[in-house]
Amino acid sequence: MTAAFTVRVSDETASKLNQIAEKLDRSRAYMAAEAIEAFVEQQEWQLAEIEAGLAEADRGEFASAEDVAKVVGKYVKSTRQS
C-alpha cells in the first residue's frame, strides 16, 4: 500500500528536483519518494543510536579517562615533542 500527499517546496528546490529526475530518467514523484524514504531511514537510525547511547548512560556505561586519553593520543600529536 502507498500513501499520497502534497509537499510544498521552494521553486529552487523543485527546479533542482526536476533536473535530477530528468538526468536519471525518473519522474519527479519517484525522486521525491526516494528522498523522503532516505530521510526517514536516516532519522530512524540516528534516533535509535541516540536512544541506545542514552540507555548506556543510564546504566553508567562510560569510557574511563584513560580510555579517552588513549583515543585522543592516537590522533593528536603532543606539543612537547622536540
**pTM given for the model:** 0.69
| Tens of pLDDT, residues 2-37 | 899 899 999 999 999 999 999 999 999 999 999 999
Maximum CA extent, the chain: 67
- Is residue 62 very low, low, confident or very high in pLDDT (cuts 50, 70, 90)? confident
What average pLDDT does this structure show over 35-44? 97
Backbone angles phi, psi at 35, to 5 degrees: -65, -45
Residue 71 pLDDT more than 80?
yes
| Per-residue pLDDT at 33 | 95
